[in-house]
Amino acid sequence: MSEQSYRERLHGRAIEITRRIVEAEGLEAVQARRIAREADCAVGSLYNVFGDIDGLILAMNGETLAALGLALGEASAACEQLPLEARLRTLALGYARFAVDNPRLWQAVFHHRRPAGSAVPADYLALQARLLALIEAAIADRIADGEARTRAARALFGAVHGIVALAIDERLGGAVAPELEQQVSFLVALIARGLNVGGAAS
């Protein structure tokens, strides 16, 4: 096997093993030695491919974001012609359901603490931008100014994310699945109403 294809295979296999560990036991259980053992390679080979254990977790989280982006992108395309509230609700409930269906993978994206000063890879940032672009597209005809629209998309993402995060993490006001969907739908209805009344809010 060429070195290139060995690296590629180890890349895929290590992410798969890490994902299995996270799904079963959570992010805390991820350890380089354990993954190297299960992948039948040396810890050094793992670091060779991913830089360090944070690089491996970022690679796994990137795949989670890609899957989320794909699911929401399809949902968004399917409701392009619907009124604003229905479009926003589709995105918001799609996000909530992804988190409910993949709680530990979703938590890994938001609980993972990068070492201080380490940069986020460009392709990871691109995946984040793609999620925000879906919201921007949904509100494009309500908020004409680009900067205001970006801020609005971030605020709306944060708002839905917060309800979902409290539910998944079982925190203050955190809700189980049906209650979670009711809270998200309630918020989206208010926001859509506010956007419809306000027109070009900034």
Least distance CB 77 / a copy of itself (angstroms) = 21
Per-residue CA distances from 34 to 50, 59, 166 (Å):
15, 17, 31
Please tell me the distance from the alpha carbon of residue 127 to that of residue 131, in angstroms, as a whole number: 7
> Judged by CB under 8 A, does residue 123 bind a copy of itself?
no
Is 199 a binding residue for a copy of itself by CB under 8 A? The answer is no
Nearest alpha-carbon partner for 17 in 48, 57, 69: 57
Please give the Cα distance from 18 to 107 (Å, whole number): 14
**Whose Cβ is closer to a copy of itself: residue 20's or residue 151's?**
151
Instruction: Please select the residue that binds a copy of itself; options are 20, 33, 37, 171, rule is CB under 8 A.
Output: 171
Distance separating alpha carbons of residues 142 and 145, to the nearest angstrom? 9
Q: Which is nearer to a copy of itself, 8 or 169 (CB)?
A: 169
CA gap 15, 7 in Å, rounded: 12
Nearest distance, CB of residue 23 and a copy of itself, angstroms: 16
Is there binding between residue 128 and a copy of itself (CB under 8 A)?
yes
Kindly state the tokens that stand for 158. 């944060």
146-165 mask for a copy of itself (x: CB under 8 A)? Answer: -----xxxxxxxxxxxxxxx
Contact between 195 and a copy of itself (CB under 8 A)? Answer: yes
- Whole-angstrom distance, CA of residue 99 vs CA of residue 162: 12
Q: What is the DSSP string of 121-164?
A: PHHHHHHHHHHHHHHHHHHTTT--SHHHHHHHHHHHHHHHHHHH
Sign of CA dihedral 117, 66, 156, 153: positive
Q: Which is nearer to a copy of itself, 13 or 159 (CB)?
A: 159
Which of residues 23 and 28 has its CB atom nearest to a copy of itself in the complex? 28
Q: How far is the CB of 35 from a copy of itself (least distance, A)?
A: 22
Q: Which of residues 18-47 bind a copy of itself (CB under 8 A)?
A: 28
Site for a copy of itself in 57-116 (CB under 8 A): 110-111, 113
Contact positions vs a copy of itself (CB under 8 A): 28, 110-111, 113, 128, 131-132, 151-167, 169, 171-173, 175, 179, 182-184, 186-187, 189-195, 197-198, 201-202
